[in-house]
Amino acid sequence: MTPTPERDPLARERDHLTASRAALRAMRADVEALDIADVTANWVNAAVLQGQIDDRIKALADLAHTPLFFGRLDFLHAAGAESAESPESAESAEGGEGPSFYIGRRHVHDADGDPMVIDWRAPVSQAFYRASKKDPMDVALRRRFGYTGGELTAYEDEHLSDPQEAAQVSALLQREIERPRVGPMRDIVATIQPEQDEIVRSGLGGTVCVQGGPGTGKTAVGLHRVAYLLYAHRERLARTGTLVIGPNDSFLHYIEQVLPALGELEVRQATVADLVAHVEVRAADDPAAALVKGDARMAGVLRRAVRAQVSLPTEPVVVVRGSRRWRVPAYELEEIVRELLDRDIRYGAARDALPQRIAHAVLVRMEQAGEAPDDRVQDAVARNAAVKAAVKAVWPPVDPAKLVLRLLSDAEFLAEHADGVLDADEQKAVLWAKPARSVKSAKWSAADAVLIDEAQDLVSRTHSLGHVVLDEAQDLSPMQYRAVGRRCSTGSATVLGDLAQGTTPWATRSWGEALAHLGKGGAVVEELTAGFRVPREVIAYASRLLPDIAPGLAAVGSVRESPGSLSVRRVDGGGDVAGAVVRACVESLAHEGSIGLIAADARVPVLAEALRTAGVPYLDPGTETSAEARLTLVPASLAKGLEYDYVVLDEPSAVVDGEPDERTGLRRLYVALTRAVSGLVVVHGAELPGQLAA
């Protein structure tokens, strides 16, 4: 029997979608109709309020291709609604006692204020992600919705409390992952998996570190965790701020739409280089220098160098007030200075405190002489020229960039502070071949900027944010971890990475060490092992490298079979490799979605020329793909964190040879091999690295 429209569940769900969209439009219209003329006394308040209203209007937009809800939960009992926002108003479940909720990207309510869609981050939504046959969490029915171009076209049911029904793999999840990629990274709210949800919803108080192989959803989880924390602790985080740190600008560009799509517009994104941009970086270190400059021992050298700017007083301070002279002897000044040095406060804070301490010593003498000076006298004494001169001599201001410049230019100065910490070779490695004359003209490297940041923090405390997400963390040096740690010293962090993908000379060996440098030694390390991006055949091929690049790590699984997703093509006897690569790209372009041509950095010009000659248009990484331009030519050094529906990998051995050592080369290759969602074609003329040769 064909169901009548009102009995057809799909039609009913569509009705709810239509009604929810109408309710959202009404919510937006309400905000648009707000007249702030009567409630604000001045134009500054009015401008601030209007800004907030504009943001709210933006957040209430109904985006045609972003479904308003993607799931539904029917609870067995009314008690299941305890934590819902407005349980008594929720619809009743089909055939069940308990209420029913629609789960979506944002909260939508009707004219009476009753919820039509519940935010995915609300406590009641948790069961949508976590409930299982083993632990149904009082859920009678979990329904997932499928959309085609904004239209609700399918649904998939799980009766979690029905022992007869077998657990099943979601076809909608599979479809969602394989949906062709055009444009930037998408959110995964509709399909967050239970082990991912545990990380997403872990509390604001603790730092979480996630080790996960390629495509296990680390980036997605980190971004969704920020969205969750902003929901659960909105006021606090609005005050303290949140930050997402990624490896480079093209990566940040790739992920920048995820949080706005979830309604979060205020999260800052930056690279570590952006955070420490105290000077213009114009040079690259050789690996030996970079290794020492990134070593945590440099923090000790800098600390010594900064503190060494303090000299113990040898002269008394004499303050003249009216007809009287007050003298604080050198030995007493020395005591004050030593006491400040012993206290664990910043160099600059101690410097600010010193005039008051000296003034206090003067006041004690005044009192002893029978005077009754008040606070104003103490302030006046602290500003006295003799006191100022003494402070300048004993505790001079420190310019962090100038201090680092001197350390890197002046062998004697470096030795004075590095002896016993760095050996002679290490000191030689960090010294500039040609001493720099000024901060402006110096050829600063990225690692130097981090040293300046450390020195800056020794002088005055770096502002800490409420929460920091650090992606591709495995590539940071200890000094970079410290720089990030300063920015969440009173907040928490989400640290995401894969030890097998570390490609810097200082790449992280263990998360315990990394977290200690970050200042979050007690953080838990979670592991994600299910791979969502890479098909099984491809991840198995790439995992042949694991014993050489990260012996302790288990291979990532794959939630998708996709037979035929891997093809390895050999071009014989000096044949035209670039030509074969272009052909593979053209073949891949016959599919829908994005195509990445990944090659050793040194081979990029040759391949660019071959593509141009063949009339195949291509983009640079960081440029958004569109329906017209879907092929990106990606230097292997920029491939990390990115993904494409189809990948053509040029000449694996050249990718390996492009790195200073074999292990780093193989790690770079592992990254390149794990960027494909639907298919990988490897094209080679040279021998493949042994691990990949059949």
Please tell me whether 490 is known to bind a ligand: no
Residue from 313, 596, 621, 641 that binds ligand ATP (CB under 6 A)? 641
Under rule CB under 6 A, residue 101 binds ligand ATP: no
With respect to ligand ATP, which residue has the nearer C-beta, 192 or 226?
192
CA distances from 441 to 397, 423, 488 (A): 22, 28, 32
CB 92 within 8 A of CB 99: yes
Residue from 67, 98, 104, 212 that binds ligand ATP (CB under 6 A)? 212
Question: Among 142-150, 169-177, 516-524, 647-655, which window interacts with ligand ATP (CB under 6 A)?
Answer: 169-177
Q: Which of residues 652-691 bind ligand ATP (CB under 6 A)?
A: 674
Number of residues in the chain: 694
With respect to ligand ATP, which residue has the nearer C-beta, 177 or 377?
177
Under rule CB under 6 A, residue 136 binds ligand ATP: no
Under rule CB under 6 A, residue 495 binds ligand ATP: no
For residues 10 and 17, give the distance between their C-alpha atoms in angstroms, rounded to a whole number. Answer: 10
Question: Among 191-199, 365-373, 611-619, 661-669, which window interacts with ligand ATP (CB under 6 A)?
Answer: 191-199
With respect to ligand ATP, which residue has the nearer C-beta, 71 or 214?
214
For residues 350 and 31, give the distance between their C-alpha atoms in angstroms, rounded to a whole number. Answer: 51
- Number of helices followed by number of strands (H, E) in the chain: 28, 24
Residue from 98, 99, 215, 679 that binds ligand ATP (CB under 6 A)? 215
Minimum CB distance to ligand ATP, residue 224 (Å): 9
For residues 107 and 119, give the distance between their C-alpha atoms in angstroms, rounded to a whole number. Answer: 5
Minimum CB distance to ligand ATP, residue 643 (Å): 6
| Burial label, 613 (beta-carbon count in 10 A; 0-12, 13-18, 19+) | exposed
Minimum CB distance to ligand ATP, residue 533 (Å): 4
Question: Among 29-37, 162-170, 212-220, 404-412, which window interacts with ligand ATP (CB under 6 A)?
Answer: 212-220
For residues 356 and 395, give the distance between their C-alpha atoms in angstroms, rounded to a whole number. Answer: 13
Minimum CB distance to ligand ATP, residue 607 (Å): 22
With respect to ligand ATP, which residue has the nearer C-beta, 219 or 480?
219
The dihedrals phi and psi of 445, each to the nearest 5 degrees, come to -105, 170
End-to-end CA distance of the chain: 56
DSSP string covering 439-470, please? TTTS-EEHHHHHHHHHHHHHHSPPPPPSEEEE
Residue from 285, 498, 645, 650 that binds ligand ATP (CB under 6 A)? 498
| Burial label, 667 (beta-carbon count in 10 A; 0-12, 13-18, 19+) | buried
Give the CB-nearest residue to ligand ATP. Answer: 217
With respect to ligand ATP, which residue has the nearer C-beta, 408 or 476?
476
Minimum CB distance to ligand ATP, residue 171 (Å): 13
Q: Tell me, rounded to whole angstroms, the distance of Cα 59 from its chain centroid.
A: 23
Residue from 100, 125, 161, 193 that binds ligand ATP (CB under 6 A)? 193
Minimum CB distance to ligand ATP, residue 532 (Å): 4
Token pair belonging to 390:
């003494």
Minimum CB distance to ligand ATP, residue 530 (Å): 8
CB 23 within 8 A of CB 106: no
Under rule CB under 6 A, residue 533 binds ligand ATP: yes
Question: Among 211-219, 426-434, 563-571, 680-688, which window interacts with ligand ATP (CB under 6 A)?
Answer: 211-219
Please tell me whether 216 is known to bind a ligand: yes
Please tell me whether 213 is known to bind a ligand: yes
CB atoms near residue 379 (< 10 Å): 12
Under rule CB under 6 A, residue 254 binds ligand ATP: no
For residues 153 and 14, give the distance between their C-alpha atoms in angstroms, rounded to a whole number. Answer: 9
Contacts 24+ apart (CB under 8 A), 297-303: 297/421, 297/422, 298/451, 298/454, 298/479, 299/454, 299/479, 299/482, 300/421, 301/407, 301/414, 301/417, 301/418, 301/421, 301/422, 302/403, 302/404, 302/407, 302/417, 302/451, 302/454, 302/455, 302/458, 303/458
Residue from 10, 177, 421, 589 that binds ligand ATP (CB under 6 A)? 177
Residue from 66, 202, 211, 219 that binds ligand ATP (CB under 6 A)? 219
Residue from 20, 66, 161, 196 that binds ligand ATP (CB under 6 A)? 196
For residues 565 and 387, give the distance between their C-alpha atoms in angstroms, rounded to a whole number. Answer: 76
Q: How is residue 235 annotated by DSSP? A: H
Please tell me whether 617 is known to bind a ligand: no
CB 575 within 8 A of CB 685: yes
CB 245 within 8 A of CB 469: yes
Question: Among 2-10, 86-94, 207-215, 299-307, which window interacts with ligand ATP (CB under 6 A)?
Answer: 207-215
Minimum CB distance to ligand ATP, residue 537 (Å): 17
The dihedrals phi and psi of 177, each to the nearest 5 degrees, come to -65, -40
Under rule CB under 6 A, residue 218 binds ligand ATP: yes
Token pair belonging to 395:
């505790």
With respect to ligand ATP, which residue has the nearer C-beta, 109 or 560?
560
Minimum CB distance to ligand ATP, residue 164 (Å): 27
Minimum CB distance to ligand ATP, residue 612 (Å): 29
CB 397 within 8 A of CB 377: no
For residues 557 and 373, give the distance between their C-alpha atoms in angstroms, rounded to a whole number. Answer: 76
Under rule CB under 6 A, residue 201 binds ligand ATP: no
The dihedrals phi and psi of 127, each to the nearest 5 degrees, come to -60, -25
Residue from 24, 127, 140, 192 that binds ligand ATP (CB under 6 A)? 192
For residues 581 and 594, give the distance between their C-alpha atoms in angstroms, rounded to a whole number. Answer: 16
| Number of residues this chain uses to bind ligand ATP (CB under 6 A) | 23
Please tell me whether 212 is known to bind a ligand: yes
Write the binding mask 593 to 632 for ligand ATP: x where contact by CB under 6 A, - elsewhere: ----------------------------------------
With respect to ligand ATP, which residue has the nearer C-beta, 249 or 332?
249
| Residues near 333 by beta carbon (within 8 Å), at least 6 away in sequence | 313, 316, 317, 358, 361, 390, 394
| Residues near 362 by beta carbon (within 8 Å), at least 6 away in sequence | 317, 319, 326, 328, 381, 387
For residues 247 and 269, give the distance between their C-alpha atoms in angstroms, rounded to a whole number. Answer: 11
With respect to ligand ATP, which residue has the nearer C-beta, 161 or 664?
664
With respect to ligand ATP, which residue has the nearer C-beta, 426 or 471?
471
Token pair belonging to 484:
């990030």
Under rule CB under 6 A, residue 197 binds ligand ATP: no
Under rule CB under 6 A, residue 71 binds ligand ATP: no
Under rule CB under 6 A, residue 188 binds ligand ATP: yes
- Specify binding-site residues: 212-219
Residues that bind ligand ATP (CB under 6 A): 173, 176-177, 188, 191-193, 196, 212, 214-220, 498, 501, 532-533, 641, 643, 674
- Specify binding-site residues for ATP: 212-219
